[in-house]
Structure 1
Amino acid sequence: MSTWIPLESNPEVLTKYIHKLGVSPAWSVTDVIGLDEDTLEWIPRPVKAFILLFPCSESYEKHRAEEHERIKEVKEEHPSNLFYMRQFTHNACGTVALIHSVANNKEVDIDTGVLKSFLEKTASLTPEERGQALETDQDFTADHQALAQEGQTNASEHETVIHHFIALVNIEGTLYELDGRKSFPIKHGATSEESFVKDAAKVCKEFMARDPNEVRFTVLALTAAQD
């Protein structure tokens, strides 16, 4: 298993990254500065995904294990157009969350480049095979490593990272949590284009409620770029 330099939760760096990968400049990554209804109104529209960065605490790992056992028995069905991939590369969670955010929103245009090529060649693969493909994709690795070094902190000094990125997206009216460390996508109930921001904020609050003494949470969103 290879190890990448971790991405910083810096919207400017992440926006530069998705543009370098080929995402249209009409889209950007922006900070979500609060999860109350009034504050959520400040996020540029439309909002296509929430990206949550959180610490992998004992309570989170306990919840993840219990969730896995519960869902494993159910054998849930998911839409055929849902793009889901596993994460097998250390510290690639930021890239995986961005891929999940963009790949599951067809309105987000992707020009010819690293991301479009990756999505085309992995379209018919399993989530596990997609994760393995990312690990061996030299162009993706090079772009990630270059952008990871542009953050405000010395990312290479933090290779033992205890934080993790996930994506929240609306797929055919269901709010999905897409986390490359989990064996399958996680459903969080019904949503809509109108209610997605509020519904995604509720899921973020649930993560925070499991670690009430923890303050190291960051929420970002994939949105229309501001003029």
Structure 2
Amino acid sequence: MSAQQWIPLESNPEVLTGFGHALGVSPDLVFSDVWSLELLDMVPAPCHAVLLLFPLTPKLRNAEVADSTSLTDSPDAPYFVRQTIGNACGTIALIHAALNAGRLAPAPSPDSFLSRFGEATKDMTPDDRAKALMEDASLDAVHGQFAAQGQTAAPSPTEKVDLHFVAFVHKAGKLWLLDGRRDKPFECGPCEEGNVLRSSAKIVMDRFMKADPTEQRFTILALTAKP
């Protein structure tokens, strides 16, 4: 992690939707709350990617170490960028969701940040993409604008935050967990293209919630069609 620090994004669907649209996510897509893993039919369809905000507790950190063998740099792996900016996990997760939303989702707007950055970095390594992200002043400015929004007072950039965003996406018949703190994408197992939400929900329950059953601080958001 570099000395560069951002203000954390709030897990607020309106803030994330506005931020995504400012970066180039299609206006036909929004982030929607997933209120219950038992009521997934209430989430607008189709779902193209999922964001998870979870606490970095010791039990969950230990579970991550145990899962490290599923990290891969397979040619089938989705677009992935490392997180080297402090508190940038929400932005990294949004970029992962938007640039890996798949062929069923509307593409990012032409000439937007997402279109330009995705094209310029498509052949780079995850570390080189991280460097390009750090050097992009336009992203820094837009992030700051939306990080200041939300229902709670924004923490300072230097404040230690124990919550972390990751993204789940589909590619090549598999579900992938994209966590910018890791070196590579994490292969979760088989997944049909239109089943990202249900496949992600199973991983959240089996790999996250069961790892620390007493923890309640889990927030799930889906990148979906606009209702």
**TM-score normalised by structure 1 residue count:** 0.92
Amino acid at match of 2:86: H
Q: Distance in 2 between matches of 1:125 and 1:167?
A: 20
Q: Deviation per CA, 1:97-131, whole angstroms, max 9, x where unpaired?
A: 11111111243321122222211211111011111
Contact map agreement 1:89 1:135 (CA 8 A) in 2: yes
Task: Show structure 2 runs of 5+ residues with no match.
Answer: none
Query: Counterpart in 1 of 2:17?
Result: 15
Query: Counterpart in 1 of 2:134?
Result: 135
Amino acid at match of 1:169: V
* Of 6, 12, 26, the match for 1:24: 26
Q: Distance in 1 between matches of 2:139 and 2:73?
A: 31
Q: Distance in 2 between matches of 1:101 and 1:194?
A: 15
Query: Counterpart in 1 of 2:181?
Result: 181
Contact map agreement 2:174 2:188 (CA 8 A) in 1: yes
**TM-score normalised by structure 2 residue count:** 0.92
Moved over 6 A (4+): none
Query: Counterpart in 1 of 2:168?
Result: 168
How has the CA–CA distance of structure 1 residues 76 and 113 changed in structure 2, closer, same or farther, with 3 Å as cutoff? closer
For the pair 1:105 / 2:104, whether they are aligned, the reply is no
Contact map agreement 1:30 1:220 (CA 8 A) in 2: yes
Query: Counterpart in 2 of 1:93?
Result: 89
| Backbone CA RMSD of aligned residues | 1.5
Task: Show structure 1 runs of 5+ residues with no match.
Answer: none
Query: Counterpart in 2 of 1:145?
Result: 144
Aligned residues, how many? 220
How has the CA–CA distance of structure 1 residues 119 and 195 changed in structure 2, closer, same or farther, with 3 Å as cutoff? closer
CA shift for structure 1 position 156: 2.6
Q: Distance in 2 between matches of 1:156 and 1:186?
A: 30
Contact map agreement 1:24 1:109 (CA 8 A) in 2: yes
Amino acid at match of 2:132: A
Q: Distance in 1 between matches of 2:74 and 2:127?
A: 17
